[in-house]
Amino acid sequence: MGDDTTHSSQNTDPWRGRYADRAAGMVASEVRALFAVASRPEIVSLAGGMPAVGALPLEEVGDMMAGLVRDRGAEALQYGSAQGDASLRESITEVMAREGIDADPDDVIVTVGSQQALDLVTRIFVDPGDTVLTEAPTYVTALGVFAAYQARIEHVPMDEHGVVPEALDEHLTRLAAAGRRAKLFYTVPTFSNPAGVTLAAERRPRVLEICRRHGVLVLEDNPYGLLHLDAGPTRALRADDPEGVVYLGSFSKTLAPGLRVGWACAPAAVRAKLVLAAESAMLSHSAFAQLAVDRYLRTQPWDEQLKEFREMYRTRRDAMLDALSATMPPGVTWTRPAGGFFVWLTLPEGLDAKAMLPRAVGARVAYVPGTGFYADGSGTANMRLSYCFPPAERIRDGVRRLADVVGTELSLRDTFGRAPASAPDQGPQTPAPDLA
């Protein structure tokens, strides 16, 4: 299946038939070509998950980096340890403390974004055929990682309060009855990508209890936690179960993805294995990137910066929610995120978000269709809208254009019975990095 969706001309591939089985699970997203078109300036992209790094004080950041090379170049330009810089790991424990986590710097391993942490955790836990449970919809590139390790991905439903504990318990009980056990439960409990929902406080201890009872490791992916737009920070799952949770964090959304600094915080034995896996995967992460992030945290007004980011994203979120209320036809519903980057929209019966995308791009607005966020072909009626990157005015324009497209689809549906459907979904796919 991988072979006919990659870019290369497979007919002339001299290595065809020689790839590992897992390479078949690495599939390029079908909508990728469309997004190349969607990057044209006249199109409002509500598709990308790129943070607004233009808001950083570039002059100061540049000076800081120059100082870093001048003062500590021999270290910043050299190989570092595979676990990551000790001073940065200490700073990271302070970042996590904002969400109630009491961790030791030794519990932390620094990774190339939290994406690499996802890869490494899966690498040490998942054999081909092992089951990984995820809430759904969920982060598309996590599905890609699980698929690349040939996991059997199964979903647990979520509602506007996050994953449904009863459904999780039932699913795990059903697996046990069938003689199977999930290795991981993957969740983005706070300001989720793509659903834009947060696991309710009262559900959190229940989710932990259920996973503990079934012997399943919780993989808590939390890149958006500090981008809370209404209330203060949410208490992390890891804060209440240090042995049962591997927590993933990232500076991609709260500082800059271009340095690729993320981390995992894990129980000691798991952390030790992650370090060995990281050495094999890349020897060590960039000492420069790590020292730069640490110096930024220790010398620059990060809290002010976070406040600015939050204000900006709040304005953009409100612009999106207001425009949706003002323009969307009846029958369209969407989530109301209290933080993070994303709104999850559901089209009325009979409409197909993937089939509609070319027409939306024709109307100069882009989004990510919902099917990519499921491993089971669900999500045809859904789309992810992100408010992180375009300014508020562009967001309003984009939503207005989108509402027009939906309106036209609805009248097509009412005339012809239903709008044209898209091709059946192909399971986990790899989007371009800026769409993840």
| Minimum separation from the CB atom of position 262 to ligand PLP (A) | 4
| Minimum separation from the CB atom of position 396 to ligand PLP (A) | 24
Task: Please state the φ and ψ torsions of residue 57, each to the nearest 5 degrees.
Answer: -75, 90
Give the nearer residue to a second copy in terms of CB position, either 81 or 192. Answer: 81
Per-residue x/- marks for a second copy, 301-330, CB under 8 A? ------------------------------
* CA–CA separation, 266 and 284 (whole Å): 18
Q: Is the dihedral of CA 195, 200, 201, 203 positive or negative?
A: negative
Spell out the residues 6+ positions from residue 272 whose beta carbon is closer than 8 angstroms to its own: none
User: Where does this chain bind ligand PLP (CB under 6 A)?
Assistant: 49, 113-115, 139, 188, 193, 221, 223, 250, 252, 257, 262, 283, 436
What is the Cβ-side half-sphere exposure of residue 250, based on CA atoms within 13 angstroms?
A: 25
What 3-state class would DSSP assign to 315? Answer: helix
Give the nearer residue to ligand PLP in terms of CB position, either 126 or 332. Answer: 126
Give the nearer residue to ligand PLP in terms of CB position, either 196 or 257. Answer: 257
Which does residue 195 touch among ligand PLP, a second copy, none (CB within 5 to 8 A, set by kind)?
none
Which does residue 386 touch among a second copy, ligand PLP, none (CB within 5 to 8 A, set by kind)?
none
| Minimum separation from the CB atom of position 17 to a second copy (A) | 10
Structure tokens at 305: 């910066």
What 3-state class would DSSP assign to 233? Answer: coil
| Minimum separation from the CB atom of position 280 to ligand PLP (A) | 11
Give the nearer residue to a second copy in terms of CB position, either 215 or 377. Answer: 215
Structure tokens at 262: 């993320």
Structure tokens at 152: 């059997």
Structure tokens at 370: 């919902």
* CA–CA separation, 178 and 1 (whole Å): 29
Inter-residue contact 360 to 405 (CB < 8 Å): yes
| Minimum separation from the CB atom of position 214 to a second copy (A) | 12
Q: Point out the residue whose Cβ comes nearest to ligand PLP.
A: 113
243 binds a second copy (CB under 8 A): yes
- Residue 285 per-residue DSSP state: -
Interface residue with a second copy, options 157, 205, 258, 331 (CB under 8 A): 258
Give the nearer residue to a second copy in terms of CB position, either 9 or 415. Answer: 9
Q: How many residues does the chain have?
A: 436
Task: Please state the φ and ψ torsions of residue 132, each to the nearest 5 degrees.
Answer: -120, 125
- Residue 310 per-residue DSSP state: H
| Alpha-carbon distances, residue 360 vs 45, 214, 281, 404 (angstroms) | 10, 45, 40, 9
| Minimum separation from the CB atom of position 112 to ligand PLP (A) | 7
Give the nearer residue to ligand PLP in terms of CB position, either 389 or 409. Answer: 389
> What stretches of 256-286 show up as alpha helix (H) in DSSP?
268-282
Interface residue with a second copy, options 2, 233, 329, 350 (CB under 8 A): 2
Interface residue with a second copy, options 59, 202, 303, 349 (CB under 8 A): 59
What 3-state class would DSSP assign to 394? Answer: helix
Q: Which stretch binds a second copy (CB under 8 A): 161-169, 219-227, 353-361, 425-433?
A: 425-433
| Minimum separation from the CB atom of position 351 to a second copy (A) | 29
Inter-residue contact 107 to 135 (CB < 8 Å): no
Give the nearer residue to ligand PLP in terms of CB position, either 252 or 422. Answer: 252
> What stretches of 9-57 show up as alpha helix (H) in DSSP?
32-38
Interface residue with a second copy, options 31, 44, 46, 50 (CB under 8 A): 50
Interface residue with a second copy, options 4, 9, 177, 303 (CB under 8 A): 9
Tell me the DSSP string of 50-116.
---GGGS-HHHHHHHHHHHHHHHHHHHTS---SS--HHHHHHHHHHHHTTT----GGGEEEEEHHHH
| Minimum separation from the CB atom of position 137 to ligand PLP (A) | 11
Give the nearer residue to ligand PLP in terms of CB position, either 257 or 390. Answer: 257
Kindly state the number of chain residues that form the binding site for a second copy, as judged by CB under 8 A.
99
Per-residue x/- marks for a second copy, 108-137, CB under 8 A? ----xx-xx--x---xxxxx--x-------
Structure tokens at 77: 């330009």
Give the nearer residue to ligand PLP in terms of CB position, either 250 or 422. Answer: 250
Contact set for a second copy, span 143-202 (CB under 8 A): 144-145, 148-149, 183
Which does residue 53 touch among a second copy, ligand PLP, none (CB within 5 to 8 A, set by kind)?
a second copy
